[in-house]
Amino acid sequence: MTRLTTEWISDIEAGMGEYSAGLQRKIGMTLMEFSRWVCGLDEQAFQQMQKRYRVGVVPVTQGQGLIRGFSEALCAISRNIGFDTEISQKTDVDGIYDCIHRNRKILLCADDERYIALNAEKGIIGENDQGTALGYIRALDAMLTCNGRSLKDENLLVIGCGRVGKIACSILKSEGIEFGLYDRVRPIEKHGATYILSDPKEIAGYSAVLDFTNEGEWLTAKMLAENVFYASPGVPYSPDAEAAEKIEAQSIHDMLEIGTAIMLGTVMK
């Protein structure tokens, strides 16, 4: 799991409203509506969950320690999708105890290896790798749908065969969606892909891209198809400045928002 930095996430809290509005322009749904849709909850059921559950963010000092602004970012995302959310003034196990004691039965917490949402009432865990993989597949599909296209009909490429990329491949395979796969370290296994790219120049042959890499500015404008639809949770962001400008209207990228929203929706069911 990529360890975030304060610099990367510093604007999340203040920018949540703008982020959700931008997402709605691209996929036809706010972040709240998207979470509900992906997790299969109708509006009434989701509203019931919002009334039933209060969320607690638990700062964790284990490993390399706290990331300044991280808890605030998680709190802002959870509030944006309609949940009463507070950050515990305690940390680690004491923070968990504090949240449960104050009837905050949904917990958000992360260390250097894992980021989870925990429903302490039902014993359900939502894990960020899974939430991010599923969320970005659905976000790309929704963006394509808004443009009169469908993920199943696209020439789809998955870039990156790490933890999140492998989960995305598994989801796509289970849904019968064909895709190519590219990783700088050529995968030993196909992970359900119909074709393994051997040269990054081949990326330009794909009309839709899910990018799960975490190396910044390696993807140039010439490496991408003219009308490509692109979705990536990777940090640092793969496209260089020219490529990012080229795909801006048909791209989705964030640090935490989609993965967190899907995790929360998952543990509410």
Grade residue 16 by pLDDT with cuts at 50, 70 and 90: confident
Structure tokens at 146: 């808004």
Q: How many degrees, rounded to 5, is the angle at CA 141 between CA 85 and CA 175? A: 100
Instruction: Estimate the crossing angle of helix 257-268 against helix 70-80, to 10 degrees.
Output: 60
User: Please, which pLDDT band fits residue 2 given cuts at 50, 70 and 90?
Assistant: low
pLDDT band at 185 (very low <50, low <70, confident <90, very high): confident
Q: Hey, do 6-130+257-268 and 133-253 end up sharing a CATH topology, with the first three levels equal?
A: yes
Of residues 171, 173, 195, 170, the one with CA closest to residue 182: 195
Query: Mean pLDDT over all residues of the chain?
Result: 93
The CA-CA-CA angle for residues 225, 216, 73, to 5°, reads 110
128-to-125, 137, 246, 248 alpha-carbon distances in Å: 10, 14, 29, 25
The domain over range 133-253 is classified in CATH as 1.20.1250.20: no
Exposure class string for 140-160: b at 16+ Cβ within 10 A, else e: bbbbbeeeebebeebebbbbb
pLDDT of the residue at 13: 75
* Helix, strand, coil percent values for the chain (each to nearest 5): 45, 15, 40
Q: Give CATH for domain 6-130+257-268.
A: 3.40.50.12150
pLDDT score of 12: 78
Q: Can you say whether the dihedral through the CA atoms of 236, 241, 247, 250 is positive or negative?
A: positive
pLDDT digit string, tens, across residues 105-134: 999 999 888 999 999 999 999 999 999 999
Residue boundaries of the structural domains of the chain: 6-130+257-268, 133-253
State the pTM of this model.
0.93
What pLDDT is attached to residue 184? 87
What are the CA-CA distances from residue 229 to residues 8, 91, 233 (Å)? 23, 41, 14
